[in-house]
Amino acid sequence: MSFEAIYREHAPFVWRFVRRLGIHPADVEDVCQEVFVVVHRRYADYDPTTLLRTWIAGIAMRTASDHRRRAHRRHETVGDVPEGAAPPTQGEEIDQARARLFLDRALDELDDDKRAVFVLFELEQLPMAEVAETVGIPLQTAYSRLAVARKKIEEAARRVQLALASKAGVR
């Protein structure tokens, strides 16, 4: 398989994955480039008894993590409603962009491993066995991290909901 074929096959996944690992949309392309450069450079280390996707995802996790540390992004608390954001009225669905912002903030509350487990299992819908292998943790640990991650995401969503309701109440 040529490197270009590897790119064609895995780039859409890598793009989504690094975005969901907390990379700012403006930086996703740079991080994806880093990922594939490492894939190319380290290909001799790839163990073909594992899925190539698993190996690439591991590289993406580490690259995204390093990027986030370098980026020193300003941390915002989940529940802070963007300035000028109108609270949704009853029955009104919040717009997709705001929902995505809230999701980012909720995911930001998870540490790297829990975030990766949540993203791979819930959003990428990979079997937990593959999730565990990608993150490099035992299967049962992956399940327990998923449970914690779900709880935290739920809590974050509830806090946002309360913040939105509170804002609506003072208007």
Q: Which of residues 65-124 bind other proteins (CB under 8 A)?
A: 66, 88, 93-94, 96-97, 99-100, 102-103, 106, 121-124
Please pick, from the candidates 71, 154, 166, 167, the single residue that binds other proteins as defined by CB under 8 A: 154
Nearest residue (CB) to other proteins, 11 versus 73: 11
Q: Is the dihedral of CA 95, 171, 163, 107 positive or negative?
A: positive
CB of 75 to other proteins, least distance (A): 18
Cβ atoms of 75 and 121 closer than 8 Å: no
Nearest residue (CB) to other proteins, 2 versus 74: 2
Which residues in 110-149 are b (16+ Cβ under 10 Å) and which e? bebbbbbbbbbbeebebeeebbbbbbebeeeebeebbeeb
Give the H/E segment covering residue 99: helix 96-108
157 by Cβ neighbours in 10 Å (0-12 / 13-18 / 19+) ranks as middle
Please pick, from the candidates 72, 125, 169, 170, the single residue that binds other proteins as defined by CB under 8 A: 125
Nearest residue (CB) to other proteins, 38 versus 73: 38
Q: How far is CA 16 from the centre of its chain?
A: 8
Q: Total number of residues binding other proteins (CB under 8 A)?
A: 82
CB of 166 to other proteins, least distance (A): 13
- Give dist(CA 141, CA 138) in Å, integer: 5
Q: Kindly state whether residue 148 participates in binding other proteins, applying the rule CB under 8 A.
A: no
Please pick, from the candidates 110, 114, 115, 130, the single residue that binds other proteins as defined by CB under 8 A: 130
- Written as six digits, the tokens of 32 are 């994806």
Nearest residue (CB) to other proteins, 13 versus 73: 13
Q: Restricting to residues 31-70, name those near other proteins by CB under 8 A.
A: 32-38, 40-54, 58-59, 62-63, 66
